[in-house]
Structure 1
Amino acid sequence: MAKAPIWQWGATETASAIARGKITSEEVTKAHIDRMKAVNPKLNAVVVDLTKDALKAARAADKVLAKGEPVGPLHGVPVTIKINVDVKGQANSNGVVAFKDMFAPEDAPVTANLKKAGAVVLGLTNTPEFSLRAFTENPLHGLTLNPWSPDITCGGSSGGAGASMAAGIGCIAHGNDIGGSLRWPAYCNGIATIKPTQGRIPAFNPSAPAERPLMAQFMSSQGPLARSVADVRLGLEAMAQRDPRDPWWVPAPLRGPKPKGQVKVALAKIPSDMKTDRDVISLVRSAADHLADAGYDVKEVEVPDLDGTWRLWCDLIMTEMHVLQEKQMRQVASDGFKTTMDGFLKLATLLDYEGYMKAIALRSRFIRNWLAFLEDYPVVLTPLSVNPVPETNADLKGAKRIAEVFWNDVRFMSAINLLGLPAAVVPVGLAKGTPVGVQIIASRYREDICLDAAAAVEKRAGRLVPELWKRMG
């Protein structure tokens, strides 16, 4: 067993050690609780403490193992869950003061799947109000800091998940992604993730008073954040099991046919109007070199209509929010949330009934064009952002700064949600002392192709968290 502290072990290593009787789940859980007590007061990443229940679950897990009963892939492994997903008996507040007593009657599918896999839930992680902002602060639980520096954002909306995972709290963190909310915190905190294909991981909140808007359902995904690609893969396997409450869940295999011959990679050309950071783009190109060294055939090409894809995502998601949710949100939201919402609405073209229906129809064309592109290039490598991690609460500085971040910096990120395609993020290095990751996209239900490429990059670039832990002490 590694000499590193228990909290530094990955999920794969931890699960194996528990299953082989080398360590108990109670010992592992206590180590992560101690780590949380040491670092969370400063970060404010885990905002609902479930450690008493976690210790009970860990002891129960040890008893199951002692009886020789079958166990799941995450048996006894500590994890965290984002506060916008139902955990039975806990409030699904989504960062909103008015929802602080909206207790979940049952577990959401992703929560239930993690528990079925044997995971031990340490606590619930922070998110901005309504999980809308890409910066994690809310009036109910406060601001979450990035463990790399308090001056830069931990991202959002799964910012608490990203910060806790980088800092060493838990082995896998749950998050979700409708415009980048898994991938952006992974980028900001120097860890790995995958936004799965829509329908890969079942989603539903029993506490929800109404169904989500249609495009919000089609452009949102649940997923894992972790400190290694292997752990992301393990988390995906655990989360992706069937739940009949999600009508969009698809029983696709987690591994597809192996691509024939040398796998072609499209290194995405950067649009000429994007203002980029030289160090960040250099690290993106180093990721391309890593893939080439691993035997991939890398060619720099233009991806299909990036600008149009992003704008259609923005128009659809903002139109739905404006028509079905904005009035209710404004009644209970903070001024900061309203500032961000106003900035988002200025970026979008709000559609009338005919325009909305035409936009939904047009979405099929964009998906078709990307799927055809992915037939030629099974892997697409893009920046996740073309600039370093921005300052904390950058979106509260007005519409101009919001446009700089969301249209200029992360255009490659949110566009992928329109398409429902899987996209991984893996760190590649530091720019100006802050983490940089790259995005790896593949075709529908080919998360395995994303993660294989991400693992090839990780093997050559190394992980960033050991450097972070040296800084944290």
Structure 2
Amino acid sequence: MTETTLPAAATRELTGSELVKAYARRELSPVEVARGVLSDIEARNPGINAFSNLDPEQVLADAAASEDRWQRGEPLGAIDGVPCTVKENLYRVGVPARAGTASSEPILPARNSPVVDRILESGGVIVGSTTMPDWGMLSSGVSSLHGVTRSPWNADWTVGGSSGGAGAAATAGFGSFHVGTDIGGSVRLPATWLGLATLKPSAGRIPIDNPYLGRAAGPLAQSVEEVAMAMAVLSRPDARDFTSLPPEQLAWNELDIDVRGKRIALHLEPGAGMPVDPEVRAAVARAADLFSDAGAEVTELKPFIDEGYLRSVDDFWRVRFWRTYVDLSPDAKSRVLPFISTWVHGGADVSGRRALEAYDAIGELQRATVAATGPYDAVLSPVASVAAFPADWPMPWGHADQGMSHIAFTLPYNMSGQPASSVNCGFTRDGRPIGLQISGRRFADLETLRYTAWYERSRSTDAIPQFPVGV
């Protein structure tokens, strides 16, 4: 095993595919890279707080095994030796998981999640598990267990959530890709508020255990190329996910597309939720102009949801997590984040009739989303109505209870199961990133990612995030 530590800057500046090519040429060692990442984490993570679990000895052991495979010319797969992370709720054998809340006793999983197995089968080096807020039900990095996860751009800004630790690690460069989960925007919201690329894939594209309505896993990274690299590994089938899609060979590394003649919708008014910040609106409109200038047929998509949909989903989720909360001991309940405790109490007195009405409304939201977006090859919209808010706020409006008024652009595509990406399209006057959401028809994951890559290549220089951040 090499004793060399690659300078941290080098580990941040090389993409996953560049690392793999360097390993194959014997120009770099996975152990050198792992040491560089761990050194970077030791120096910078105390101010970021991206990890729920770190085990440097295991990381170096996995990197050494990868190095041995490369020396024999027998890599396990396309990401052998590539450093990455997974969210705390993506279980790893023997690694404590507590769903981001101080109320829970640690779960010591007896088996890996499908996401973790896919990474390990391909030789990826999991650097650590990343933080999340209580039960994943906040769009911020605030947790009763982990404290506050902060943006590498500015420690005063949120990382978003619930895949906040994954977003922070991606922005800081603590690996090549970082897998989170998303039920209403939880990979796209960190991406928009941190300047990252991500894809929430079609329902069932990435197998997960404990699948339920709207839930998906997706990678966050500094570039679409690295998102695609991760998708090629993560989208392989797993029988444990009874909702997973049939196996399909997709050319994730082929990201070119001609947008001429494509039918593109521009969706700037969600019809519900928070008002759209003028700077966010202008950045997304400029992105749409690029598609139009390149020959796409861009037309306005009018609102297709209303406040009733958001209230129904909020009621349904409150009931779901009230069921979790009510079974806790009095002492455990006292350790739940106060914001979450207040929120779940909103589900305590919801009648069975209302719960079923809310569930039926989710089905109607699915229908409305598919009907409204079906005529288009892709839909362009903001990811969120606002840019990054203060890091210690649990939600974009602060500590008040406004339900789910922040996810009017993202939630529909979780419920409909359609793919939706985020890619940076500009900055506010004070430097906060703004994400462009690109959604496609269900199962058109690769096409959606191709539109995202096209925009990434075509965007103006003032919309390009300058990584590394915070160094």
**TM-score in terms of structure 2 length:** 0.88
Partners of 1:344 and 1:402 within 8 A in 2: no
SS of residue matched to 1:124: strand
Between 1:57-66 and 1:14-23, the stretch displaced more is 14-23
Counterparts of 2:278 and 2:398 in 1: how far apart (Å)?
Answer: 25
Distance 1:415 1:307, change over 3 A: farther
Q: Number of matched residues?
A: 456
Aligned equivalent of 1:270: 269
Q: Give the 3-state SS of the residue equivalent to 1:66 in structure 2.
A: helix
Pick from 424, 428, 431 the counterpart of residue 427 of structure 1. 424
The one-letter amino acid of 2:151's match is N
- Which residue, 31, 34, 46 being the options, matches 2:51? 46
CA distance in 2, matches of 1:283, 1:385: 12
Closer/same/farther in 2, CA of residues 254 and 153 from structure 1, 3 Å limit: farther
Q: Structure 1 length normalisation: TM-score?
A: 0.87
Aligned to 2:453: 455
The change in CA–CA distance for 1:459 and 1:157 in structure 2 (over 3 A counts) is same
C-alpha distance in structure 2 between counterparts of 1:272 and 1:132, whole Å: 23
Q: Retained in 1: the 8 A contact 2:31–2:63?
A: yes
Q: Equivalences for 1:15-414 in 2 at 5 Å?
A: 15-204=20-209, 217-251=212-246, 253=248, 255=250, 262-271=261-270, 274-305=274-305, 307-322=307-322, 324-328=323-327, 331=330, 332-333=332-333, 337-343=337-343, 352-395=351-394, 401-403=400-402, 406-407=404-405, 409-414=406-411
Looking at structure 2, the residues matched to 296 and 280 of structure 1 have their Cα atoms a distance apart, in angstroms, of 22
| Runs of 5+ consecutive residues of structure 2 not aligned to the other structure | 1-7, 252-256
Residues in 2 aligned to 1:203 and 1:230: alpha-carbon distance in whole angstroms = 23
Q: CA deviation at 1:50?
A: 2.1
Distance 1:437 1:402, change over 3 A: farther
Deviations 1:94-153 (A, max 9, x none): 123354532111111111111112100111111112222222233333221111112211
| Kept after mapping to 1: 8 A contact 2:283/2:434 | yes
Letter in 1 for 2:298: V
Structure 1 spans left out of the alignment, 5+ residues: 205-211
Root-mean-square deviation (CA, aligned residues, Å) is 3.0
In structure 2, C-alpha distance between the alignment counterparts of 1:81 and 1:12, rounded to whole Å: 19
- Which structure: greater helix fraction? 1
Mapped to 2, the partners of 1:226 and 1:379 lie a distance apart of 22
Aligned-residue identity in percent? 28
1:9 aligns with 2:41: no
Classify 1:352/1:336 alpha carbon distance in 2 versus 1 (closer, same or farther; 3 Å).
Answer: closer
Deviations 1:39-65 (A, max 9, x none): 111111123112211111111112112
Distance change in 2, residues 1:386/1:140 (3 Å)? closer
How far does the alpha carbon of each residue in 1:303-360 deviate from its partner, in whole angstroms, 9 at most, with x for none? 43254543443233223223x32313584245672323534765x8975334444544
SS at match of 1:472: coil
Q: Does the Cα contact within 8 Å between 2:276 and 2:386 map onto a contact in 1?
A: yes
In the aligned structure 2, how far is the partner of 1:424 from the partner of 1:364? 22
Cα distance, 1:442–1:466 mapped onto 2, change above 3 Å: closer
